[in-house]
Amino acid sequence: MPEETFFRKIINKEIPSDMLYQDDFVTAFRDIAPQAPTHILIIPNKLIPTANDIDIEDEELIGKLYSVAKKLAKQEGIADSGYRLIMNCNKDGGQEVYHIHLHLLGGKPLGKLISAG
């Protein structure tokens, strides 16, 4: 069994968060250290440690993350101007919490994703 993370406590409302969306499958809340004016984390309620751990039976759940991102982008007023969706995987990919999560970032021009060097 993968190790539980503090995201589980957010899902269970044991840790306070600025929650924007929750259903039986997905939870979304504002990042506590935002990297853009809008920075929302969208997570599956099921613990999946990394993108490498996504199984065929998770396909619908992963699609739901993106559907919720679309809804929240519209709700936040950034759908038309544009936004970025990012999922990091493992240490070199920048993953810090081993419970997959989709970052929804926007509210300003974000520039290039990766700079040369």
**CA distances, 88 to each of 13, 36, 45, 101, 112 (Å):** 24, 17, 17, 8, 16
> Where residue 39 sits, what CATH number does that domain have?
3.30.428.10
Joined together, the tokens standing for residue 78 give 């950034």
Model confidence, pTM: 0.93
Domain range enclosing 74? 6-106
Q: 98 in a domain, yes or no?
A: yes
Q: 68 in a domain, yes or no?
A: yes
Give 10-residue mean pLDDT values along the chain (117 residues): 80 95 98 96 97 97 98 98 96 95 96 71
Q: Which residues are catalytic?
A: 101
